[in-house]
Amino acid sequence: MTWNNSMSVNVESLDAQHKAIIALINELGDAMNAGKTDVVIGSILSKLIAYTQYHFDYEENCMIVSCFAHHDHHKCEHDGLKKKVKALEKDFLAGKANVADEIMNTLQQWLDHHIMKTDMLYSSHFTTIGLQ
């Protein structure tokens, strides 16, 4: 995945976090393409899951303190991805075939949709209140 300005939510801290998630997705993809071991891929996957959790918590907190009207819907999307990725991680750790590819596809598609559609809903709200 490549970051571009159309992905910007115009909030520096959130854009930086989105870029970091994309970098981790790319690191995971590079490791898979290079045929790295499951230990290496699992380590990157764990970092990606942990960072995504941090990002979701941060984003949801911003919504709560700023009284963002669509917080509940946004949180539901986050919870759905967390549940799906945890299940895929469990399958990966159990050694099921092609799970890493499914994880990559899930994350890429979800992130593209989530940033470009759902996150854009809070962009003007956050910039109006001066969130950096």
Classify domain 11-129 by CATH architecture.
Up-down Bundle (1.20)
Position with higher pLDDT, 98 vs 125: 125
Q: Tokens for 23?
A: 């970098």
Q: Closest by alpha carbon to 122, among 67, 80, 51, 82?
A: 67
Q: Tokens for 101?
A: 């590819």
| DSSP conformation letters of 70-95 | THHHHHHHHHHHHHHHHHHHHHHHTT
Give the whole-angstrom CA distance, residue 28 versus residue 47.
10
8 A C-beta contact, residue 106 and residue 87: no
**Per-residue model confidence (pLDDT) at position 132:** 86
Residue with tokens 């571009």: 4
Q: Closest by alpha carbon to 103, among 88, 119, 120, 81?
A: 88
**What's the pLDDT tens digit per position in 57-105?**
999 999 999 999 999 999 999 999 999 988 988 998 898 878 888 888 8
User: Is the confidence at residue 16, as pLDDT, over 90?
Assistant: yes
**What's the pLDDT tens digit per position in 103-120?**
888 988 888 888 889 999
Q: Cα separations (Å) of 107 from 42, 50, 118, 132? A: 15, 14, 15, 26
**Per-residue model confidence (pLDDT) at position 20:** 96
**Per-residue model confidence (pLDDT) at position 43:** 93
Whether this model's pTM surpasses 0.85: yes
